[in-house]
């Protein structure tokens, strides 16, 4: 491995000087600067970011905790997209992403978010898919580590969070249904009390009130965002005495599960029963009929997360905040006008 010493020796200067040209300091003559640059190129020298980080105390690395609960597949394309967009944005600022895992060290000690973050010396943290129940969250929120989390209301002296405008999105969904003449609208939400689940429920209720629609407890079902839970919820709903004309599902996967249940019951989605989902995952375009849904703007979410984290990391006294990203309605084929 070639080090800064090799370059210095070869160029006939001190390591300090080499370091200076590498970092663009002004107190170096044009002559030596060029000489050093030339040698650097010749030797194919790459300054070691680790050693540099050690002294500057900035690793130019942000840690990512991405919990997929072993549950790969469709729930995650959404989060994957957010990460991809985040990576692009933060990458331009020169940061690399370190995917961290909570784990038990070889000493047998369990290391959670904060511990791993300090261990790896990351400049900031990005959390996705982390369940509210995670025990490391409390200490993390109190820490001074710049953190942005998505879909999780983690808030602290250096912790901001970000999510779609779930309340507004849910209202958009119901509004769309109402605009198409529906007045009997059921809801399939989540039973875990996630922030998004909660907010979508709220939006649903607000919209109900706004349109003076009847709130029927038996039309409120619970799932876990997954396909089968949507399927089951719909089966329960179909067993009710009176059926709604439409159902709003808090996730596309649940919507798809619901669609299956409907078909199975011999009914037709978009005919007897209309459906609106939430997320706009890729799959939504492919099921048939295409799923009308509320789109979360993953690109923008990633970008906003990145700029927020950058500020948190590089601006002293930047107060944390909550970031909301607008949703949009995507009309496909699961809503029928019954005006």
Partner DNA sequence: CTAAACTCCGAAATCGCTTTCGCGAATTTT
Partner DNA sequence: AAAATTCGCGAAAGCGATTTCGGAGTTTAG
Write out the residues near DNA by the rule CB under 7 A.
1, 3-5, 12-20, 22-23, 26-33, 45-48, 51-52, 54-57
Closer to DNA by CB, 51 or 338: give it: 51
CB of 292 to a copy of itself, least distance (A): 17
Q: Looking up tokens 């119901």, which residue turns up?
A: 174
CB of 72 to a copy of itself, least distance (A): 6
Residue 15 interaction partner, one of DNA, a copy of itself, none, beta carbon < 5-8 Å per kind? DNA
User: Which residue, among 285, 283, 286, 221, has the nearest Cα to 258 in the 3D structure?
Assistant: 221
CB of 122 to a copy of itself, least distance (A): 10
Could you give the string, one character per residue 232-271, with x where binding to a copy of itself holds by CB under 8 A and - elsewhere? ------------------------x---------------
Which of positions 44-83 make contact with a copy of itself (CB under 8 A)? 44, 46-51, 53-54, 59, 61, 68, 72-74, 76-77, 80-81
CB of 211 to DNA, least distance (A): 59
Length of the chain: 339
b/e sequence 247-257, b meaning 16+ C-beta within 10 Å = bbbbbbbbbbb
Residue 283 interaction partner, one of DNA, a copy of itself, none, beta carbon < 5-8 Å per kind? a copy of itself
Closer to DNA by CB, 106 or 337: give it: 106
Among 12, 91, 131, 319, binds a copy of itself (CB under 8 A): 91
Q: Residue 274 forms beta bridges with which residues?
A: 246
Per CB under 8 A, residues contacting a copy of itself are: 1, 22, 24, 44, 46-51, 53-54, 59, 61, 68, 72-74, 76-77, 80-81, 84, 87, 91, 94, 96-101, 103, 106-107, 111, 115, 118-121, 256, 282-283, 286-288
């Amino acid at each position: 491995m070639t080090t800064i010493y090799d370059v210095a020796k070869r160029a006939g200067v001190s390591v300090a000087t080499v370091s200076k040209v590498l970092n663009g300091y002004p107190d170096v003559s044009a002559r030596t600067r060029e000489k050093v640059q030339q040698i650097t190129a010749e030797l194919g020298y790459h300054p070691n970011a680790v050693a540099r980080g050690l002294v500057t105390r900035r690793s130019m690395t942000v840690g990512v905790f991405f919990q997929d609960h072993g549950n790969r597949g469709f729930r995650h394309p959404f989060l994957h997209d957010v990460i991809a967009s985040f990576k692009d944005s933060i990458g331009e600022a020169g940061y690399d992403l370190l995917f961290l895992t909570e784990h038990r060290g070889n000493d047998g000690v369990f290391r959670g978010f904060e511990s791993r973050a300090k261990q790896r010396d990351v400049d900031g943290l990005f959390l996705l898919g982390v369940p509210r129940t995670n025990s490391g969250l409390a200490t993390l929120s109190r820490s001074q580590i710049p953190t942005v989390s998505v879909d999780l209301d983690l808030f602290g002296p250096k912790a901001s969070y970000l999510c779609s405008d779930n309340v507004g999105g849910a209202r958009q969904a119901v509004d769309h249904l109402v605009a198409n003449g529906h007045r009997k609208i059921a809801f399939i939400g989540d039973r875990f009390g996630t922030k998004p689940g909660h907010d979508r429920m709220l939006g649903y209720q607000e919209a109900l009130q706004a349109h003076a629609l009847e709130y029927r407890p038996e039309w409120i079902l619970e799932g876990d965002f997954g396909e089968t839970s949507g399927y089951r919820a719909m089966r329960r709903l179909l067993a009710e005495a009176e059926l709604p004309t439409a159902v709003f599902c808090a996730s596309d996967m649940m919507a798809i599960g619901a669609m299956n249940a409907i078909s199975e019951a011999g009914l037709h989605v978009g005919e007897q029963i209309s459906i609106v989902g939430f997320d706009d995952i890729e799959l939504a375009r492919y099921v048939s009929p295409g799923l009308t849904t509320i789109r979360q703007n993953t690109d923008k979410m990633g970008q906003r997360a990145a700029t927020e984290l950058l500020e948190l990391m590089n601006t002293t006294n930047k107060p944390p905040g909550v970031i909301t990203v607008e949703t949009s309605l995507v009309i496909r084929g699961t809503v029928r006008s019954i005006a």
